[in-house]
Each structure stands twice: as structure tokens, then as C-alpha cells.
Structure 1
Amino acid sequence: MSQRLRFYDSLLAWHLKEYRQMAFVSGPRQVGKTTVCEGTADVCWNWDNTDDRRLMLSGPSVMADKMGIGQLREKPPVVAFDELHKYSKWKTLLKGFFDTYGKKIKVVVTGSSRLDVFRRGGDSLMGRYLLYRMHPWSVAECLHTDMPANPVRLPKNVTDADWDALWAHGGFPEPFLKRDARFTRRWNTLRQEQLSREDLREVSQLQDLGTVEVLVQLLAERSSQQLVYANLASEIGVSVNTIKRWVDLLGRLHYGFLVRPWFKNINKALRKEPKWFLRDWSGIEDVGARAETFAACHLLKAVEGWTDMGLGRFELYYLRDKMKREVDFLVTRDRKPWFLAEVKHSETTISPALGYFQRETKAAHAFQVVLDMPYVNADCFKESAPVVVPARTLFSQLL
């Protein structure tokens, strides 16, 4: 498996140059956090390594001595703390270290949860860190690894090899770069087992892990579908509030994510039921659900990345009303509708709902995004009326 430079290498280097705050890098297991941080940091200490753990528990002064803080340097050394959130007092440890040595050292912290799962002691790190949410490979990252000046780039054609690998193997680095069907299937199985056997035990006090595993299996089959909590509760035999807590926990562990309905200025819009999406589309059998999940992951990466870089406040929603008109996605920019995206695998007849909801929301753009359509060298964002666009073109312009 060959290594390739990632966008997050540039992002982290930019942060360390521009800001004094610690960089928190959050994302799913095996998304590449440790690889990127090791490439940037002078030293990386992993909580799962017993020698590193003993060093970190020795206190700030011992860690500073290990880093050679007293030595003359051209620039401050960079230390990365990996999986530190597994320590119950991780915030206190970081606060003491950063407050004492923050002017002489740069700090990166990574975690496979959202780094807010553990809330003991309150938010004592306020003002001391900036968060960056790391995602798997995307079409745009296959084409660009530099920092964008604006949210939207000019279109560029991704290679057939990268496009096919993304669709078949997903965007997680190992299966995406290895491109072996047997490995991808085994990798997917092991990753789901790791979620059930390790991650849930580490971050929760759940007593009924067997029932949660049933929920995980159900959600694996329902990517891109609306979640009706009452129906899930009835299927599993637990309360609605329990289902909500468990779904929230699975989101915090990056197993999947929710997209909520947009209802401002929409007559008879749905307000409650979110849609559920897996973080990895490679194991989804249904072509339509796979295409929508593929698009959802690309759009989520874009809105979270743009927000983390300070380019604005971007969020992802979907649209549906009681007349059953629906558009798969709405991206907002600074709380105002920006563009709509209806995802199809091969259908090129424009959905009537696109025009209807564009008029209702006053969004600047409305795209029917077709996965099975060749690249077109034209800027999607120069179009204002509803238009059919290739996924290869639109996603190349994002992040």
C-alpha cells in the first residue's frame, strides 16, 4: 500500500504556523489521524502505549524535559498526544501542560471519539484549542491537498482509478489505497467488530452491549433512510429515549451521522425525523442507498472542513414536506440556504422537487447530482436554475 499526501497534512501545518492553540484532530478509527500527526510532530505519545502512558502520567515537567524545552531551537517542537481522551483526566493533564509550556511548544491531540464524549470536569480547555474533524478520502482530496482560499474550487477531472476505488472500497485510507476486494470485506467486518467490542466499552457504561449490537446491525442496513425512533425502540424492545442516547453515542464514535430536516420558510415541512448515514458506503448493497451515502459523506466533509477552516458556518440538512416532496440535501452558508442536491445513480430527468424547494428556500443553486455520468469541465456554481451535474464534477469542487 503506497502512501499519499493528504489535505490534512497541509491543514495541520497551516494551523501550527498560524495559531498558538492546540490542534484537536477528531475522526473515525483508521481514518489516518495518527499517520498525519506523526508526519507533522517531532514526537507522538500514544495513550495505548504503556511506556508513553507512564511518561504522560509523570507530569508536565517530565514531558517538557523529554521534549528538550530548554534547548535553543529554530522553531517550537511539536508534540502529538494520540488517543489521550481515553484517560479520565485528560483535560486536566492538557491544561496544566499547555498553560505551563504553551509558549514554547506546539500541541496536537487526536481521538477516535469526538473528543467531547468525556465531560468530567467541564470545558476547562475553552480558548486553548481549535477542533479539526478528519474524514476519509474524497474526490476533491484525490485532486487537491493544498489549503483552499475559498469553499468552492474550479472543477477538475478525477482519474478513473481513483473514482472507481472510492466507489468500490470507500474512502478510508487502507482499503482505498490497497484496492483489494477481499481485504476491503475483511476490513469492514473487523472495523464493525471493533466498534462493538472495544469502542463502546471504552466510552460508555452500557450494561446491555448485546442489544446495542443489534441496533448497530439495523443501522448498517438503513443508511440514507429516515430514523423513526419509536419504530426502532419497538423492534429492539427498549425505550425511545434509550434509542436516542445510543444513536447519539454511535454518532460520537463516528459510526454514522444524522442529517436533520430544514423547515424554515417551508410550508408543511417535516421537523422531527432525521436521516441516518453510515460513515463508510463501501459495504452498502443497494445502489441508490450507496449513492446517497457516498454523496452525504462528501457533503459532510465539505461543510465541516469549511467551518473548521473559518471560511464560514456551513451545515447540512435535507428537505421533505407532508406532501412527500423531498430533496436529499441542503447546504447552508452562514445559516442561509446555499445549494440543494438531489442524488441519483443514473436518472437525468430533473426532479420537480428541486425547483419547488429552490423557490421556497431561495437557495442560489439546485443540483441533480448523477453518479453514473461522465465528467463535464464546467463550473457547477455558475448555474442558478436547477441543473443536472455529474458527481465527478461537483465533488471535485468541494473538499
Structure 2
Amino acid sequence: MSKRGDNLSNKNKRGSRRAATERSASGKSKKSSSKKKTTLKREGAPSPFWKWTKRFAVFGGVAALLGTVFLAFAVGFAARELPSFFQLKASQAGQTILVRARDGSEIVEIGPSFGEWLEFQDIPENMRNAMVAVEDKRFYSHYGVDPIRTTGAVVEGFTGARSRVGGTSTITQQLARNLFLSSNRTFDRKAREAILAMALEWKFSKEQILELYLNKVYFGGGAYGVDSASRKFFSHPGKTLSVAEASIIAGLVKAPSRYSPTADVQAAVDRAAVVLRLMKEQEYITSDQASVDVDAVQLKQQAGQNSVRYFTDYVLPQLDIILPETNAPLEVWTTLDVGMQRAATAAVASNSPDGAQGALVSLDRDGAILALVGGTDYVESNFNRATDAMRQPGSSWKLFVYLAALEAGYTPEDKVVDTPVTIDGWSPRNSNGRNVGETSLRTSFAFS
């Protein structure tokens, strides 16, 4: 009994150990399986990069949707507030500015010149095509803003291909700016310009927009609209413009003063050639029409203008800085002395050799301009050499140096020393390459 009981007890113990071993193995197996599942689950999980990419995509999509809704509301509201087509036709662009001298006398009156309003069908087709070709080749396909042109300009700005982002305005944007805005280059103004352009496209047809534009755009010399420009430059109505004449007028919009045929015939001809090339590339004209001789165009003879226009060209742009936006007539009082301006004009004319230009500026002690002449003939060349020419001042600065010395208490007999000097790596020299050492202010000035 005792032995049999011991055997049973041993069997039970061995059975218990086997069961425990099996349970242990089963537990390990389950744990191992659990680890594998966990490992597999971790391997299939998305990386943080894709998580953030997805979030940015969702946020970007929502932002784009909200932006589109906001833009649609803004454009719709602007379109509802726009004047009617007939009201815009009746409104005049530009303003009259009366410029006076320091004694109150009238110097010049500058104001807009309007010709006959030309209906869309009365504007020569070549004139319409020339303007579209040079200013906005996708005019008939965009909705006020040209995304291709805008994107290209932004890319060029970021890549450094151009020094600034510009040249992105469509014809509709230009019309919006001319009708409702100033020419300030600010982001806020460009945004309003874009919204107003889309509103114009929403409310008016392409034909109406082009009709408004061609009758209101500024072509220089006070001429607003195609008919006024045609009469000013070619002495005939705008309805009879030739291909060559249309190319000259279309080329003026970019820079009316620079490409004016009355100021620089060659510049106007060169610009017209660009317009004709673009018209040919866009298949508005044939190769024969593109090779037209714009030199043969008969320009209207212009009477000579007083040199005071150099002064007004310099002064009037400063009104944008000191005055708020306004289309009201202005009366501008200046510091110009009429007698001194007349003497300055005569001095430049008498001291400029044939074919050469000259310039003169006379300032009061407080810096006020008393006389300013930028060339010998404003009609021949309206380039202002007094304010825009980049030339070495030469010995003219010596007058200011000696004047400053006298005002500081020096006398003509005081001694100064002429020795070599170097300023930030720059070493000025006398024309003869020598230095005279100690000398009097009087002698130094005499030999300057």
C-alpha cells in the first residue's frame, strides 16, 4: 500500500509538472504571437511625415475653399457696386492742374485732352489687335486676371530672373486702375485691382471692356483715348488709323513719355516694331503688314514748348506723395522764379554747341528751386538732364566746398595744405598729378 501510494503520488507530481510545462509553453507561445502581431501592426502604421502631409493637404484644401468663397463674395459685391457702362463712358479720366510760379503767375495748365468717343465697331480692327497683342495676348480667354502671366512673374521674382515682380496687369486690370485706383505699387492696391478687374469681367462683355479701355487709356501729351492720340500725333481722327500708326499708339501705353513720337521718333519707331512683331506672332497681321515702314508715317508738327515743362515734369509726380488720391482740379504753387527761369533757358541755349544738350539748376539757400532747365528743347527731347542724367559733378562741387569754408570763418588769406589723401580706399588726384603743399585759400580757389 505504501509503495503503490508513493507511485501514484509520483505520477501525479510528474503530471502536474507536464501540465505546468505545457501551460508555460502555451503562455510563451501566446506572448510570442502577441509580440509578432504588435510588431506587424507597428510596421504597417503611417510615418509622421505622411501624417503631416495629409494634415497640410486637408488644411490647404479647406483654406483654398474658404478663399474661393471669400473671393467670389468680394467680386460679386464689387460687381454690384460698379457704375453702369453708360456712367463709365460719361466719366472723364485725368484732372486739370494749374501750376503757378512763386509770384502767383500762371506757368502752365496741364489737363486731359479727349477726342471723339469711338464705339467698339468704329475702332479700327488693327488698333484693337495691336493693343491686345502688346498688352494682354490672353485678353479674350482670361477672367480679368491672367494666372499664367501672374505665376510666371512670381516665379521670376523668386528665382531672381527679374529684380521685382511686375508687368502682370491685364487690360482689364489696367482699366480698373485707371477708373478707380492710383498707380501706387502696394500689395493692397494690387489686390483691389485684381478684384475690380474680375468684377468688370463679371458685369461687362470683352467688347465693352476693350471699348472703355481704348477710349480712356493715357497715351501721353495729355491725350486720353485713341481718337485724341490720333489727332495729336497724326492730325486725323482715330477711325482711319493705319497699321503702322496703330502700332505706334499701342506702343505708347507702356511709357508714354519715353516712346512719344514727338519727343523721340527713333524710340517710338523701335517700340512700334516690337508691336508689329507681336501682332505677326499672334497671327493678327501677315508678314507683309509687319514689315511696314513706320519711318514713313507722317507725324503732326509740334510747336516748341517753354523749358518750364522740365520743371513741371519733376514737380508734379511729387503730388502723389503729399496729397491723398483725388481727381479734383488742382492749383499748385511752386518756388519757380519766372525771370530766373527765362535767364537760365537763355544761358543753356547760348552755351550749348549745335547738336548738344545742356542743363541748369538754380537753388535758393533753403534748397528751393528757382530755375530748372533739363535740355535745350523740350519737344526735341523731354529727357530731364537736370534731374535724371547720371554724370560726374566734376569741379562744380568745389564751389560748395569753398563756400562752406567761408561760412565756417575762413578768409581768403588763410592757409590750407594740399597733400595726398585717401578716403576709404579712394585717393583723389589733381589733374597734373602733383601737390603744391601749403597755399592760401585765394590761390587754391584761383587754380581750381
Q: Is TM more than 0.5 here?
A: no
Q: Normalized against structure 2, the TM-score is what?
A: 0.24
Higher helix share: 2
Higher relative contact order, structure no. (Cα contacts within 8 Å, ≥ 6 residues apart): 1
Structure with larger Rg: 2
TM-score between the two structures when normalised by the length of structure 1: 0.26
More strand as a share of residues? 1
